[in-house]
A and B are shown apart, each in its own frame.
Chain A
Amino acid sequence: MFPLVAENLVVEFQGKHVLGPVDLRLDKGDIAVILGPNGSGKTSLLKALHGILKLKLGMVRWSCLETESVGKQMFVFQTPIMLRRSVFENLTYPLRLRKVSKAEANQRATEWLDRIALSASMQVPATRISGGEKQKLALARALITEPEMLFLDEPCAALDGKTTNEIESMLQSCVENGTTIMMSTHDIGQAKRLAKNIYFINKGKLECIQSAKTFFVKPSSINASKFIAGDIIE
């Protein structure tokens, strides 16, 4: 399935240029962090790579047939979208879509409930749990399908430290299990903790693509060094 290659990607909304042209390549095992200020195009880039955004120009290519790649990638939205079902049924949903047997789906959902500490609320409507619990549930619902590729859009925006910690360690362990991650954040600390490679984006342009180690020491764009220093980019 890997590498994922994007060429000359351009996204517009109602004629307004928001992204690109972007060229990038993503290899298996990466934890790629898209870092950039609000409105820089992080969400648009992730959605374009995932294939749920109409491209103005360019292409996104997996090294396998599209019919294969679509089922092996999951997306966790910045504001978790909960099905109006119980917590438990939210977890079994993607498995049932994939024709996993009911017994196996239930068993895997039970395991994941335990992992995200929501066993006690398994029958509660997913729309009623707290924001942090929703985010963990959304992540578990993506991971339960054992995706090869996981896109996350600011998974920890607006979460407390404890939940952020839990989510970050879930991400670490899913990478150990062979999932490749691309996530966005505007939190420099999170990028430092998680990233192998940094994609710094500003005003729709990828200004730096560097390994995390190099990026934080010697960013290749002036805006990036300002961003790291906590200055305002205009």
Chain B
Amino acid sequence: MNDIWDGIVQAFTLIYTLDPDLIKISLRSLQVTLSALAISCIIALPLAAILTIQRFKFRRFTIALLNALMGLPPVVVGLLVYIVLSRSGPFGVLDLLYTKTAMIIAQTIIITPLITSIAHQSLRELWSDYHDLLISMNTSHNQRIKTLLWDARRALLTASLAGFGRAIGEVGAIMIVGGNIDNATRVLTTAIALETSKGDFALALALGFVLILTTIALNIGTHWLSKTENEGRW
């Protein structure tokens, strides 16, 4: 019990003194996850819009596939990315295994189906509202996509936030493809796992607090952002 108490005190000291290791790991976590999030959004949001407005041949299949992918355990994604990127794998020549890029790839694969699916839900609701009007105004495909994405931006922000939360808190996949290498691929979650197993609760707890604070800060920030747009709820 004393150990844990000491750990908590030390954890706050680490945070308070802006421990360089702590900062480095936290920034790396943000860098990896925000990159994955950006790539995911670029793929997921237009894809969700296309799934909403277009009746193409493999639409149902794509939606089913997305839902299936959403349920894929992250560790399995890690394993698959590992196989693809490993020396003997198809992309082995790129030498990406145990790099931040590999981690970004894994996180992107994990959260893209999630963001697409949540975004699709809200876009579908908006589209059922807008359908007749936009058809009547003779809008082009691009105009429809733009209109839907813009008018659903708050819901889409929430969708990407869910993706962020999932990515930054994920440990299994990035452990496999990143390798948790000190000063290279060690991020908040993998560091917590390591320090805990070593019995160094202080750093583990400090990292844990940072992880929680990051998520809360982002949530508040997003909430505030959509509030300051002053319209509030539609």
Contacts and interface: CB of A to CB of B under 8 A. Distances in A.
Interface of A: 50, 52, 70-71, 74-75, 77, 81, 83-86, 94, 97, 123, 125, 127-128
Interface of B: 126, 129-130, 132-133, 135-139, 143, 147, 151, 230-231, 234
Contact of B137 (A86, A97, A127): A97
A84 B125 CA distance: 12
Q: Please give me the 6 A-B residue pairs with the lowest Cβ-Cβ distance, nearest first.
A: A81-B133, A75-B136, A70-B138, A84-B234, A84-B151, A125-B231
A61 B156 CA distance: 41
B129 A81 contact: yes
A50 B136 CA distance: 8
B234 A81 contact: no
B139 A85 contact: no
Nearest to A138: B133
Contacts of A94: 137
Given A74-B136, A86-B231, 20 more contacts: A52-B135, A74-B137, A77-B132, A77-B133, A77-B136, A81-B129, A81-B130, A81-B132, A81-B133, A83-B133, A83-B151, A84-B151, A84-B234, A85-B151, A94-B137, A97-B137, A97-B143, A123-B230, A125-B234, A127-B234
B136 A52 contact: yes
Contacts of A71: 138
Contacts of A75: 136
A47 to B, nearest CB: 8
A83 B131 CA distance: 11
B137 to A, nearest CB: 6
Nearest to B129: A81
A50 B132 CA distance: 12
A52 B132 contact: yes
A105 B130 CA distance: 21
A144 to B, nearest CB: 12
10 contacts: A52-B132, A74-B137, A75-B136, A77-B132, A77-B136, A81-B129, A81-B130, A83-B130, A84-B234, A97-B137
Nearest to B151: A84
Contacts of A52: 132, 135-136
